[in-house]
Amino acid sequence: MALLPILRYPDPRLHKIARPVSAFDERLKKLVEDMADTMYDAPGIGLAATQVDVHEQVIVIDVSETRDQLQVLINPEIVWASDDLQVYEEGCLSVPGIYDGVERPSRVRVRSADLLGKTHEFDAEGLMAVCVQHEMDHLKGKVFVEYLSPLKRNRIKTKLQKEERELRRDKQALDAR
Ligand code: QAP
Ligand code: CO
């Protein structure tokens, strides 16, 4: 089991665009395993490779209560989105402690590949629809706070930068002992 460090907003690397996966090999399998370990440990319901500083189109999701329904989405595309929208209170492992409402299509049809490179299509609604769209945004370099007002976004940025400074200071104090 290997846990990967998660980039925290406002890290500029969260805005990099992920490239499609072309090699469905052992390296990809290891990346997916490490991402799943990292998501379950957090704990979270979704994680995009961008968040662990790997800029390839890979997502892991588990929205089940039992935490045993891992879904792996490689090179995902939204092939259809409903006209009706839903607002969901979103959070993000890269924006710890912050939650706010984001409006998105309530249902989507997704096409993506599995670890073997085989393409699948499925419909998502409810929490799964929110999660797929949130994680696919990460692959395009977009973080959910970018849907909020500039005022809210700046408050979040300032709060997280302050927390980051305090974390670094605590770590240095520990190292110096
Ligand atoms: C994205 O988010 C998502 O702030 C996945 O302190 C969120 O797993 C999709 C988390 C909502 C749909 C709805 C956030 C953990 C986890 C935090 C997550 C935190 C600890 C977020
Ligand atoms: Co996120």
Q: How much distance in Å is there from the Cα of 124 to the middle of ligand 1?
A: 18
Q: Residues enclosing ligand 1, CB less than 6 A?
A: 42, 44-46, 88, 90-93, 96-98, 127, 130-131, 134
- Tell whether pTM > 0.95: yes
Tens digit of each residue's pLDDT (9 = 90 or more) over 112-158: 999 999 999 999 999 999 999 999 999 999 999 999 999 999 999 99
Q: How much distance in Å is there from the Cα of 131 to the middle of ligand 2?
A: 9
Tens digit of each residue's pLDDT (9 = 90 or more) over 93-109: 999 999 999 999 999 99
Q: What is the pLDDT of residue 49?
A: 99
Neighbour-count burial of 17, counting CB atoms closer than 10 A to its CB (0-12 exposed, 13-18 middle, 19+ buried): exposed
Q: What are phi and psi of 81, to 5 degrees?
A: -135, 140
Q: What is the pLDDT of residue 157?
A: 98
The Cβ of residue 89 has, within 10 Å, a number of other Cβ atoms equal to 9
Residue list, CB under 5 A from ion ligand 2: 92
* Largest CA-CA distance found in the chain, in angstroms, rounded: 58
Mean pLDDT value across the chain: 98
H or E stretch at 89: strand 85-90
